[in-house]
Amino acid sequence: MNIITTPEGTRDRLFAECQRFRGVQRELTQLFHANGYEEISTPEVEYYDLFLQSGNPIPQEAMLKIVDRSGKLMVMRPDCTAPIARVAATKLKTVPLPQRLYYNETVFRSGDANRGGSSEIPQCGIELLGEGGLEADVEAVSMAVAALKAVCPNGFHIELGHAGLFPVLADQMEMPPIQVEEMRKLIEGKHFAALDDFLQSYKGKPAYALLSRLSRLFGGVEVLDEAESLVGPRPELRYLRDLFDALSQTGNQDYVRFDLGLVHQIDYYTGVIFRGYAQGAGAPVLSGGRYDNLLGAFGRPAPAVGFAMDVDLLSRETSVQPSTARLRVALTKGRLQDKTVELLERVGLDCSPVKNPGRRLIHSLPNYPLDAVLAKAPDVITYVEHGVCDLGVVGKDTILEHGSPFYEVLDLGFGKCRFALAVKERTDFYGTYKTRRVATKYPNVARRFFEGKDMDVEIIKIEGSVELAPILGLADAIVDIVETGATLRENGLVPIEDVAPVSARLIVNTAAMKLKKAEILDFIGKCQSGLE
């Protein structure tokens, strides 16, 4: 008899875990109700057109789709805000604004396989519809603080940003749209060194000084002072300062910080954006902001602000003890490990435990608050993504293949090689109309490369010596890592195009960057000093 398990991305909750989960839901819903918010529930299935019409930033591939009996495309609810906006513009259109609504529902999103993520994300949140301005934003952020106080025993903080700041600065740079998007990604991912290199040719532009610092401007109110010193008075910065002052009047100032590098989803949000970080959680536990254009998409223009909280993270992850000031770094075994040790020893760190690991799995440096974990490259990403390691050293090849749900802060410069497209000698790869076969250990890298060329190829994943595939006639070409090209030459293959450069990168967990800012920036500084 086959044993039936739960589908990937779903799980059962039993006994004590279920009690914690229900306890968090109860605390939050009681808090929302006590503050004048009324509960609303929407269907778990909505038409896909709803989210297309709303301009929702969730990518199509992240939505779980089904087809109804008439052939219309539907999705499992990937977000609670757009359906609530639909209800407010239809069933509640005769109810006066403002409307204070809360929900306790599950959203469904398709994640990558075998990454430990969830396709079912239970959320509790609020929507304040029809109320604009500072007072409404103070109410929303204050509610977020109160909610985190109720369910985060080990500490938390909320970071504020403004969706209007980046577009204004980007307009002053006179960049093509594709470069604006590249700059946005570098700022969002806190690619410190890569952003510096990217902006070198724009040094004379008015917004250069602030944009070059934007990814680093997170912390206390001092980041607003620095931003104003670089760009002068800006209404977005003034608003954030006014919001902080108003929150201080409510006694919430100790829980509020800033991140001017919150620049994602800028077409969706229209004003203040905020994220919540809790000790013990490897990802933001709260996300929200102002979205004044959403209700208008459904025929009832009105301002709005709200937030959602990840109940699963709050009930499961934050039950651990508060983290210590010691950092934990995952190092890729082999040459990258050796090169990282050389780098750290140049700045005076005693790495003898890492050089002589024995059978121990975690190695503590004696003269610096750092614990090192030695792992295979894909595992480095997994440990950092889930927050059990604060930082990692891993090759760009692994990042490109497995994704980057973390901050990529520094190019360490060693482990240099490149992805290349290679074929048998005297093969005209591009001069044919047939569908070409490409063998590779890196199917995601290869797929994105050929999609960028609008080429239809068949990709075959090979685990061993990928050079065999064209030799045996299995494939027309390969995409693989090339260092000297000697292996290709010895097997009658030649590289015909570079796909992407590769080197070792320092990556940081998104929540750890905010919760251990001083310690992580100190370590980054040591790495930069060693490179210089």
pLDDT higher than 70, residue 115: no
Integer Rg of the chain from CA? 25
pLDDT of residue 318: 45
pLDDT over 70 (residue 242)? yes
| pLDDT tens-digit readout, 281-312 | 989 999 999 999 999 999 999 999 999 999 99
What is the phi/psi pair of residue 239, to 5°?
-65, -45
How large a percentage of the chain has pLDDT more than 90? 88
Exposure of 90 by Cβ count < 10 A (0-12 exposed, 13-18 middle, 19+ buried)?
exposed
Peptide bond into 176 cis (omega under 30): no
Do 417-502 and 327-416+504-531 have the same topology in CATH? yes
CATH code linked to domain 327-416+504-531: 3.40.190.10
Kindly state the tokens that stand for 367. Answer: 């003269």
Q: What is the distance between the alpha carbons of residues 212 and 262, in angstroms, rounded to a whole number? A: 14
Give tens-digit pLDDT for 417-454: 999 999 999 999 998 888 999 999 999 999 999 999 99
* Confidence (pLDDT) at 470: 97
Per DSSP, the residues of 458-525 read EEEE-SS-TTHHHHTTS-SEEEEEESSSHHHHHTTEEEEEEEEEE-EEEEE-HHHHHHTHHHHHHHHH
Tell me which residue has tokens 């797929």: 447
Q: pTM of the predicted model, to two decimals? A: 0.92
DSSP per position, 49-97: HHHHHHT--S-GGGS-EEE-TTS-EEEE---SHHHHHHHHHTTTTTSPS
Query: Please, which pLDDT band fits residue 532 given cuts at 50, 70 and 90?
Result: confident
In CATH terms, 417-502 corresponds, of 3.20.20.10, 3.10.110.10, 3.20.20.70, 3.40.190.10, to 3.40.190.10
Alpha helices (H) in 233-334, listed in sequence order: 235-249, 311-316
**Average pLDDT score over residue span 445-464:** 95
Instruction: Supply the pLDDT for residue 395.
Output: 97
Distances (CA, A) of 61 to 57, 112, 181, 338, 495: 12, 11, 20, 39, 32
Give the integer Cα–Cα distance in Å for 60 and 63: 5
Considering the domain delimited by 1-155+305-322, tell me its CATH architecture.
2-Layer Sandwich (3.30)
Per-residue pLDDT at 324: 65
Q: How many beta carbons lie within 10 A of that of residue 101, not counting itself? A: 21
The Cα 483–Cα 502 span in angstroms is 10
Stretch 50-54: mean pLDDT, rounded?
Answer: 91
Q: Domain ranges in the chain?
A: 1-155+305-322, 327-416+504-531, 417-502
Confidence of residue 193 (pLDDT cuts 50, 70, 90): confident
Residue 320's pLDDT band, with cuts at 50, 70 and 90, is very low
Q: Is the pLDDT of residue 148 over 70?
A: yes
Angle, CA of 482, 407 and 446, to the nearest 5°? 35
Find all residues with CB under 8 Å of 393, minimum gap 6, and list them.
Answer: 329, 330, 331, 332, 336, 337, 340, 380, 412, 504, 505, 506, 507
- What is the reported pLDDT for 485? 92
* Tokens at 187, concatenated: 């700022």
Whether 264 has a pLDDT exceeding 80, the answer reads no
Residue 147 has pLDDT above 90, yes or no: yes
pLDDT of 12-24, one tens digit each?
A: 999 999 999 999 9
- 468 by Cβ neighbours in 10 Å (0-12 / 13-18 / 19+) ranks as middle
Give the pLDDT confidence score for residue 429 in this predicted structure.
Answer: 94
Give the pLDDT band of residue 322 (cuts 50, 70, 90): very low
Contact present, 407 and 525 (Cβ < 8 Å):
no
Whether the pLDDT of residue 1 is over 80: the answer is no
Query: Distances in Å between the alpha carbon of 294 and those of 183, 197, 266, 306, 334?
Result: 26, 37, 13, 12, 51
